[in-house]
Amino acid sequence: MSVLGVSSISLNTTDELRFLEASKFYVHLGFSLVKTYSKYSQVASEQKAEHLRGISHDLLREVWLQTVPMQQTDELGNRIPWQDMPFYNGDSTKSLFQGVLIKLRLVAAQTSAVSLQDVRLFSCKLGETEAALKSLNVGVSKDEQGCLTAADPLGNTVYISNRPFSSSTQSFSLPEEFWAFQTDQLMKALPAVDSDSDSDGAADQPKKKKIAVMTSGGDSPGMSPAVRAVVRSGIYFGCDMFAVYEGYEGLVRGGDLLKKMEWEDVRGFLSHGGTDIGTARCAEFRERKGRLQGAYNMVVNGIDALVVCGGDGSLTGADLFRSEWPSLIEELVQTGRLTAAEAEPHRHLTIVGLVGSIDNDMAGTDATIGAYSALERISEMVDYIDETANSHSRAFVVEVMGRHCGWLGLMSGLSTGADYIFIPERPPKHGKWQDELKEICSRHRGYGKRNTTVIVAEGAIDDELQPITAETVKDVLVELGLDTRITTLGHVQRGGTAVAYDRMLSTLQGVEAVKAVLESTPDIPSPVIGIAENQIVRQPLVDSVRDTKMVATAIEAKDFDKAMSLRDSTFAEAYEAYLSTALHDDGSQLLPETERLNIGIVHVGASLSALNATTRAAALYCLSKGHKLFAIQNGFSGLIKDGVIKELSWLDVDGWHNKGGSEIGTNRSLPAEHYGDVAYYLQRYNLNGLLIVGGFEAFTALHQLESQKELYPVFNIPKVVVPATVSNNVPGTEYSLGSDTCLNQLVNYCDAIKQSASSTRRRVFVVEVQGGNSGYVACYAGLVTGAMAVYTPELKINLQTIREDIDLLVDVFDGDRGEDKNGKVVIRNEHASKVYTSELLSDIFSEAAKGRFETRTAIPGHVQQGYTPSSMDRVMAVRFAVQSVKFIEQWSHKAYETLHQGSSHHAVNNLKMLDVMRTHPHNSVVIGIQNALLVFSDIKALYQDDADMRLRKGKTVHWENLSEVGDILSGRSRLRDRRREHEEAKKQ
């Protein structure tokens, strides 16, 4: 089957490993993630099936990967808006080339037959494509015309040609050649135009795209950074940018509320909470008359694209606005408010949505702008409450926001170690929850816990839809004899500046929104920009809104399973983790004694904030299943020298969710110090699995153990590295525990010194950050702090880059209009250069400034490792810990089944069992996030293909886009473009 020129193709497999490898394969070829599904989000209703357009009922997992339609760029590499192409002739104009959508499906083996298919793709750069395939160790063959043939990990044959159609005789080696050819073909297809019309040639001049950005509905931290990103990226891509002040009210009223924005107008927005352009509810826009006036105001200002940042209500209004747009324009012409000539360029309206909501209630995205900032506020407040509750042995009922969505309630329950939570998607039994609550709180008190915390979402109900309020929960706890207080956090959850993650999210999504506008055609549905794990994705806006509304409908119909399924798969996974770590200590989930394991956990490497949270989650999950978790004290050196291993109890790990450092001790020692002693103690304590929590040292430790399996059979037990390092330099993952806490510390630090710098009006701080030989922390910190320049080990510092940054700083300070705060930050990784130290860079900038500005250095040092873990690190610690123990369970079960051939297995490390384990591959893995999927990567493959042992990091640079976006928004890319234009002008 050929996919060239068709919209989509489905590729099925029953093998999960091949499914993950195929996803990596096509992403490496340039495909981007569009959607991701799992069995948790599959709804078998007829409406859902129609809505999801072809999602099969027997799937276990599915990802959609897409190549965007090819689009021409100008001499500076910027996308040319579709409407500005010379062949544009209205909404029916064909695109240069159609994109391809591949649906990768993991299906149940017993229900689906898997057939192999042919996939035909077009590429102008066969050399680069061949190199990409070979980097994946894929065999590639060439025909006499240079076209490539390879097999994807599923066994499908992939043909890659430099001919765009099967019937084509012309080949292309450069995108520019193809663009010119296609443009010529589309120009020839245009209807003839009278040569006398447009005699002045004005029609040949491309018109600038005019884009407006608006925030609407309830405010959320991150909205202002989103506005900044949209405005500056739009200007960089050659568009005229407008801000609609006061939400839809500003769109209806027009006038001064529709303001043209310049680069400097959004200076300082990155560190501001809420929205600097205002938001307001607007009853007028809900009526057609109000939308008609809004359309008029946009047309008279020349605006034909709107980026809306708001919740589901705001985005629903935006999609309705687009659907009515043609009739609104027609009515404005018929009533004489617009002439036909004025209306003609505005027959098509482009709408792009950004989800700004602290509730995280929009379907199709893992996180909404502001959600993690609100979660951080809740976690911080509950941490304070726990201290006073513990002092007085009190109970606290904490009410959080979430009328129709329990995300804040669920995640805050995980991050604060709450005893019980009430959320609308999974309500308790009517009339029975009171006894259940008493039993759980009494049991936890019986362990020796002094404080009790219950989280109640404002939309909490029981399964008969009866409201559950903080007052009713308090009454139950009082009946138990607990001194109980209520705290309603209210709008504290909305307040404050955005955390690092929300700044990153809003910034990347803001830039992506502008790209979506420039790539939009009338046949592409209005997209909403979302995120799946760490990948920015586009979803049809109408689909996301419909799914979101279906949750409330399902709850009203008491179909709570469907309500849960409509949330993303991580929501269901998080709820299961909550049950395992908070409720299932009652013995209800115990495995048979023959299946219970002894699992060790060891901390390796530098101290950081998420180690204890990981250990707590692993211990509580183990206790719920009947496993025993043994803490290896003081790293591998403690094991080698003292052999001290302690079994962790429920009370041992109580309160570890918000403790920084390592309660069991950590250092950089490795098993190679004495393999024999490590093997002896693992065998002595009869450990059936091992969790190694840490950074690159943990990765090295796992590889050392794996390399010695032949000499020490006990090393054949399943072992998992849980990546935990501020540097985020562990191969096999795009996220490491502790990195979010580090970045939040840097955000607060840089905000403080920027305020100091701006007080003097003209000061630059060179901030030195950690990260080792990995530039992740520097690039991320540069993006979320608005740094003017970022220096990393991957991008070598030289005199040219320093000169460029000096020019940029001079340009910025020369353009200071007097009313703006103008402190600046330059971020330098600690190992960016042996020659150009932070002090030397500061001195060079100071010398070159010639009095225009001052410079200082700032080194936050170990402050970056944090004190208490961020809420994101706490939640991810639970996720990584629980999934890692499950991996050990599943892998051990597979090995035992092989040995006993289906009979009851025994968790004993005898020599026969260890030999069976040796024959099962992939038992030493790194858990991590890759290409929007949680995966377990084999240590051997990572060590061979992705580990740079000399520089102590992975070879894959997964944060390149952060650097590119940072350069755009700081103005560095604009400076380079101006220089290039200047040099070209001089040559002419």
Active-site annotation, residues: 359
Q: For residue 313, say whether it is annotated as part of any ligand binding site.
A: yes
CB 362 within 8 A of CB 355: yes
Q: For residue 311, say whether it is annotated as part of any ligand binding site.
A: yes
| Longest alpha-carbon distance in the chain | 94
What does the H/E/C string look like for 897-963?
HHHHCCCCCCCCCCHHHHHHHHHCCCCEEEEEEECCEEEEEEHHHHHHHCEECCCCEECCCCCHHHH
Separation of alpha carbons 893 and 905, rounded Å: 8
Separation of alpha carbons 225 and 230, rounded Å: 9
Bridge-based pairing of strands 305-310 and 350-355 is parallel
Q: For residue 864, say whether it is annotated as part of any ligand binding site.
A: yes
Phi/psi of residue 936, nearest 5 degrees: -110, 115
Separation of alpha carbons 414 and 573, rounded Å: 12
Residue burial 540-568, b: 16+ Cβ < 10 Å; e: rest? bbbbbbbbbebbbebbeeebbebbbbbbb
Extract the tokens encoding 402. Answer: 């979430």
Q: For residue 298, say whether it is annotated as part of any ligand binding site.
A: no
CB 778 within 8 A of CB 766: no
Q: For residue 493, say whether it is annotated as part of any ligand binding site.
A: yes
Extract the tokens encoding 273. Answer: 């909470």
Separation of alpha carbons 127 and 148, rounded Å: 10
Q: For residue 79, say whether it is annotated as part of any ligand binding site.
A: no
Q: For residue 727, say whether it is annotated as part of any ligand binding site.
A: yes
Q: For residue 856, say whether it is annotated as part of any ligand binding site.
A: yes
Query: CB neighbours of 947 closer than 8 A, spacing ≥ 6?
Result: 699, 703, 731, 954, 955
CA distances from 291 to 165, 252, 659 (A): 44, 7, 52
Q: For residue 952, say whether it is annotated as part of any ligand binding site.
A: yes
- Which residue type does 562 have? K
Q: For residue 843, say whether it is annotated as part of any ligand binding site.
A: no
CA distances from 269 to 226, 524, 718, 839 (A): 9, 31, 48, 29
- Which residue type does 166 have? S
Q: For residue 816, say whether it is annotated as part of any ligand binding site.
A: no
| Dihedral (Cα; 845, 846, 851, 853), 10-degree rounding | 70
DSSP state, 429? P
Q: For residue 204, say whether it is annotated as part of any ligand binding site.
A: no
Separation of alpha carbons 825 and 817, rounded Å: 19
Q: What kind and span of H or E run contains 454? A: strand 452-457
Q: For residue 763, say whether it is annotated as part of any ligand binding site.
A: yes
SS3 207: coil
Q: For residue 632, say whether it is annotated as part of any ligand binding site.
A: no
Q: For residue 609, say whether it is annotated as part of any ligand binding site.
A: no
CB 71 within 8 A of CB 34: no
Query: CB neighbours of 720 closer than 8 A, spacing ≥ 6?
Result: 689, 690, 691, 692, 884, 887, 888, 925, 926, 927, 936
Separation of alpha carbons 789 and 801, rounded Å: 9
Q: For residue 268, say whether it is annotated as part of any ligand binding site.
A: no
Q: For residue 862, say whether it is annotated as part of any ligand binding site.
A: yes
Nearest Cα to 500, choosing from 196, 748, 830, 802? 748
Q: For residue 734, say whether it is annotated as part of any ligand binding site.
A: no
Query: CB neighbours of 289 closer than 8 A, spacing ≥ 6?
Result: none
Q: For residue 863, say whether it is annotated as part of any ligand binding site.
A: yes
Q: For residue 485, say whether it is annotated as part of any ligand binding site.
A: yes
Q: For residue 614, say whether it is annotated as part of any ligand binding site.
A: no
What residue ranges in 679-747 does DSSP mark as E strands?
A: 689-694, 719-723
Q: For residue 43, say whether it is annotated as part of any ligand binding site.
A: no
SS3 338: coil
What is the residue whose two structure tokens read 């037990």? Answer: 717
SS3 49: helix
CB 749 within 8 A of CB 863: yes
SS3 886: helix
What is the residue whose two structure tokens read 């769109």? Answer: 251
CA distances from 470 to 5, 135, 396, 422, 485 (A): 57, 57, 10, 10, 10
Q: For residue 394, say whether it is annotated as part of any ligand binding site.
A: yes
* DSSP3 helix / strand / coil % (the chain, rounded to 5): 45, 20, 35
Q: For residue 114, say whether it is annotated as part of any ligand binding site.
A: no
Q: For residue 233, say whether it is annotated as part of any ligand binding site.
A: no
Bridge-based pairing of strands 100-107 and 59-67 is antiparallel
CB 385 within 8 A of CB 396: yes
Q: For residue 282, say whether it is annotated as part of any ligand binding site.
A: yes
CA distances from 137 to 25, 130, 552, 801 (A): 10, 11, 48, 35
Q: For residue 772, say whether it is annotated as part of any ligand binding site.
A: yes
Q: For residue 946, say whether it is annotated as part of any ligand binding site.
A: no
Q: For residue 530, say whether it is annotated as part of any ligand binding site.
A: no
CB 181 within 8 A of CB 168: no
Q: For residue 865, say whether it is annotated as part of any ligand binding site.
A: yes
Known binding-site positions for Mg(2+):
312
Known binding-site positions for ATP:
218, 281-282, 311-314
Known binding-site positions for substrate:
357-359, 394, 401-403, 458, 485, 491-494
Known binding-site positions for beta-D-fructose 2,6-bisphosphate:
668, 725-729, 763, 770-772, 830, 856, 862-865, 952
